Amino acid sequence: GAVVSQHPSWVICKSGTSVKIECRSLDFQATTMFWYRQFPKQSLMLMATSNEGSKATYEQGVEKDKFLINHASLTLSTLTVTSAHPEDSSFYICSAPLPRQVSSGYTFGSGTRLTVV
């Protein structure tokens, strides 16, 4: 079935450094990729929506210069957390709508646990 492969699964980085998270759609083309952040015991919070070949749409309160999203091809979308701080520590998940119809649902990457020390 359609799968989104997300890497890395977990990463620990120092404050001030940047981290790149990749999501690749396998066996299907993802023209749209949603990027979520989830804090412990909380719901998924949509950060931004990326569309292949165009600029990402960011949700209110999400800094576009801090969370850089690139969707250069139909199978790859990346999220770069720049100048990371401890408060950026969270679970980041990408998701793509499955092709053909809404009822197919959305497939999710396996998530990236980011810890900034």
Partner 1 sequence: GQNIDQPTEMTATEGAIVQINCTYQTSGFNGLFWYQQHAGEAPTFLSYNVLDGLEEKGRFSSFLSRSKGYSYLLLKELQMKDSASYLCAAMDSNYQLIWGAGTKLIIKP
Nearer to partner 1, 76 or 91 (CB): 91
What is the distance between the alpha carbons of residues 20 and 41, in angstroms, rounded to a whole number? 24
Shortest distance in whole angstroms from residue 2 CB to partner 1: 11
Both structure tokens of 110: 């396996």
From first CA to last CA, the distance across the chain in angstroms is: 37
Shortest distance in whole angstroms from residue 37 CB to partner 1: 12
Applying CB under 8 A, does 107 fall inside the site for partner 1? Answer: yes
Nearer to partner 1, 17 or 26 (CB): 26
Closest CA to 6 of 24, 20, 27: 24
Nearer to partner 1, 82 or 108 (CB): 108
Q: For partner 1, what does the binding mask look like between residues 1 and 20, x meaning CB under 8 A?
A: -----x--------------
| Footprint on residues 29-58 left by partner 1 (CB under 8 A) | 34, 41-46
Residues in a beta bridge with 2: none
Residues at the site binding partner 1, with contacts judged by CB under 8 A: 6, 34, 41-46, 91, 93, 97, 102-111, 113
